Structure 1
């Protein structure tokens, strides 16, 4: 049975798709020409700035109003710099530095880089208040654990980014910071009363609304008192009553990727999640990263079927399409701004470093980087000190299968610098570091979200609040090695 062409075009106007490769394939250009709302760029779409600019120009030739979005948070989540690491510190470092003018300047610089290559919506900043040290998906993406500080930096980030006419998207509503599960892999639950959410999680979103954020992203998290058994992405109480009604948000509501298990498993599939999100009040549906023409058509067909079967109001979809169009109109490409000085991010990262003990390493050290997995949001981006420490031998070791004896023997007379991300979460890492520090000069560099753990006997404990290229250089400078 043929799909109603008018309803199909309406459905396409609510979809934020993706495509493989470094050049938009013909089907992606055709869908854009037919009115598809836009595309999200991922690391696999990016070779260099000139290539990205050519891709966005091709999409815009097909549809001048197309939205081109990206997850460019700075710090550990970067797409433009996924091959080298970001030249900017992420939110945790900016929050530790606690200079809102620096945060505004960093986000203005990120916006300028995006505008220069034709990207007009940044799926940033992350404004979750990270209150769980073991949060596997937010961590250093957060400005911190204090709602007031996170709110202040949220406003600065939104304002700085949007000065370049790149739309900001505050995420992940109503707050992913208290979870100890990853919504890419399951549906996390935040079992907290609404009073706690209003005091702890909502202030940054209220600040984003006051700062004029053009978009807010939904979270695939369950808050029983607010969303019942559903993720917030499918909850009208969360999206319509709380965000729009109570907080007064009038912009575009963008979903987190519907392919994530926190949404897709609940709905019975990626495409099946689309009408549920629209009915709840979402406007622009991020399908995900693994997208082809068939999935776009399947998703559009699910929306059309829901309208025809009375499960979804056509007027609601029209409203969503109009909000998405308004976002595209606001974020129309403009002339690029003057690029920020290269020193901006590196200076900010250096100022954010926190040191306990004597950080200066005497002589050329033996650098041991403890292997750590990356979250799906981060992807595989280079990190560590190897590039920043001239002449030092650097190895990558697995803490669970490495002994202190073999590292001490290999170091010889050289001091050891141990570099880790979330050391307290790595199997055997704290035990290995403490065994090293008991018999050898050891300095620890923590490049993840820090915990309260500190290794007894270590010469120094250095916290960078992130693992970007800028954070790595900052650590090397503090250690006297760069």
Structure 2
């Protein structure tokens, strides 16, 4: 590939990924050749011992390799993807509104990551969720109030970084006002700069003030700043706004370049990498579906862009330098360390820890809960976003002597459910019930003739169903949220 120095320089700006629980040879070899690091996903995680062995294998190639993961707690978890997180997510923490608790939760999460050799947490999500119908942020947000989100952002950053794991505030300049998912398309936030400064930027300013090591870009279009392209490719966003106005000096990490919000706009992952670097990004997250050939294609695109003048070499050197500085900061987290006091281990393995207690504090009840006879629990199917992945949720693991059935809202027969209940109360469990096809109709039909409690485990927004005996919100669907709801409803022993 010509100049080997250019190849190593390009590799130093990339976060790749690999399939399976054991790093393949090519993934380790690329680290030795200069690859900045790898992002881990649920497919890479079986158990803590296996994960620690995987990160140790990567470290044999280079001691300062970056090992990143999306571990937000709540609905987005990789460590506990098989069971659900033992921590509530940001929405629940925002409802509790105890910044000391938020810091402790994030320190516990960071401690678990450090114990298995992860050095960068692609969290917290600091978007202000002002769009009730937001399909990708929702419960990942601390809330809809910029001041509250900013306060919890600072606490989360401090908690993670107190145990040597770099935090990454996302998604700049703010994904909370979108009603589309950037995994599938390029969303638009039609706001002027004054509104962005008042609504979306305060949490990022708080993260910068808290010393956050990294900020992740958003594949969103903000016409007032980005024109027709995404923020990830906008120098006005990454340099003028983030670095110039907010004073951020750390590492700018892109959201996954394989996402359609970036790849389609650029014409592929390789061209997206070039445009992101030119705009001011430093560390390029390639995505989840990565192999050696894809990495080499991206490297070739970057090297070619330097050669033909589309990309200035000094800009790539600057990016690689910032990545190296991040790696130096995270070196302290490279060695496994014991879990901090209060951290939650495998869900269900012992007494509830800090995450379960926090989730219990977040449960809100409107109306009168059923007491006495055990109800029929009806869980309504809800698809997961790509960010969440297929993680178990609901009351199932926590129920004691309670019958549960699962239904698809649009296909459910209310009369059949009433017959099955046989006079017992019904607890209808869902995520974003008001957005599901057939969801509001199912609620209305059951409430009209039955003692119905609705348990909403997604972002409830302003929706409140009429005619129900009780409306219960958990602000998340993690294992911890499920246990908390079951306890409040009296469905555990």
TM-score by length of 2: 0.97
Between 1:110-119 and 1:423-432, the stretch displaced more is: 423-432
Q: CA deviation at 1:4?
A: 2.4
Q: 2:376: which partner in 1?
A: 366
Q: 2:363: which partner in 1?
A: 353
Q: 1:323: which partner in 2?
A: 322
Using the alignment, how far apart are the partners of 1:64 and 1:44 within structure 2?
A: 23
Q: 1:162: which partner in 2?
A: 161
The equivalences for 1:31-430 within 5 A come to 31-332=30-331, 333-334=334-335, 336-341=337-342, 342=344, 343-430=353-440
SS, match of residue 67 in structure 2: strand
Between 1:364-373 and 1:376-385, the stretch displaced more is: 364-373
Among 447, 453, 461, the residue aligned to 1:451 = 461
Which whole-Å deviations, capped at 9, do the CAs of 1:292-330 have from their partners, x for residues lacking one?
A: 000000000000000000110100000000100100110
Which whole-Å deviations, capped at 9, do the CAs of 1:215-269 have from their partners, x for residues lacking one?
A: 0000000000101111000000000000000000000000000000000001100
Q: 1:7: which partner in 2?
A: 6
Q: CA deviation at 1:362?
A: 2.6
SS, match of residue 471 in structure 2: strand
Using the alignment, how far apart are the partners of 1:44 and 1:222 within structure 2?
A: 31
SS, match of residue 331 in structure 1: helix
Q: 2:350: which partner in 1?
A: none
Which whole-Å deviations, capped at 9, do the CAs of 1:29-67 have from their partners, x for residues lacking one?
A: 100111100000000111100000000000001110100
Q: Does residue 477 in structure 1 map to residue 487 in structure 2?
A: yes
SS, match of residue 354 in structure 2: helix
Using the alignment, how far apart are the partners of 1:272 and 1:103 within structure 2?
A: 39
SS, match of residue 103 in structure 2: helix
Contact 1:165–1:334 (Cα < 8 Å) also in 2: no
Alignment RMSD? 0.9
Using the alignment, how far apart are the partners of 1:46 and 1:361 within structure 2?
A: 41
Q: CA deviation at 1:403?
A: 2.1
SS, match of residue 242 in structure 2: helix
Q: Does residue 467 in structure 1 map to residue 450 in structure 2?
A: no
Contact 1:147–1:200 (Cα < 8 Å) also in 2: yes
Q: CA deviation at 1:428?
A: 1.1
SS, match of residue 200 in structure 1: helix
Which whole-Å deviations, capped at 9, do the CAs of 1:96-120 have from their partners, x for residues lacking one?
A: 0000000000000000000000000
Between 1:384-393 and 1:154-163, the stretch displaced more is: 384-393
Using the alignment, how far apart are the partners of 1:480 and 1:400 within structure 2?
A: 29
Contact 2:116–2:336 (Cα < 8 Å) also in 1: no
Q: CA deviation at 1:361?
A: 3.7
Which whole-Å deviations, capped at 9, do the CAs of 1:402-434 have from their partners, x for residues lacking one?
A: 121111011112211000000110011111111
Q: CA deviation at 1:335?
A: 5.3
Using the alignment, how far apart are the partners of 1:319 and 1:241 within structure 2?
A: 16
Q: 2:347: which partner in 1?
A: none
Using the alignment, how far apart are the partners of 1:369 and 1:257 within structure 2?
A: 32
Relative to structure 1, is the Cα distance of residues 338 and 23 closer, same or farther in structure 2, using a 3 angstrom cutoff? closer
Using the alignment, how far apart are the partners of 1:93 and 1:340 within structure 2?
A: 21
Using the alignment, how far apart are the partners of 2:166 and 2:219 within structure 1?
A: 22
Using the alignment, how far apart are the partners of 2:301 and 2:230 within structure 1?
A: 19
SS, match of residue 419 in structure 1: strand
Contact 2:115–2:339 (Cα < 8 Å) also in 1: no
Between 1:276-285 and 1:427-436, the stretch displaced more is: 427-436
TM-score by length of 1: 0.99
Q: CA deviation at 1:337?
A: 4.7
Q: CA deviation at 1:393?
A: 1.3
Using the alignment, how far apart are the partners of 2:372 and 2:453 within structure 1?
A: 11
Q: 1:23: which partner in 2?
A: 22
Contact 1:234–1:277 (Cα < 8 Å) also in 2: yes
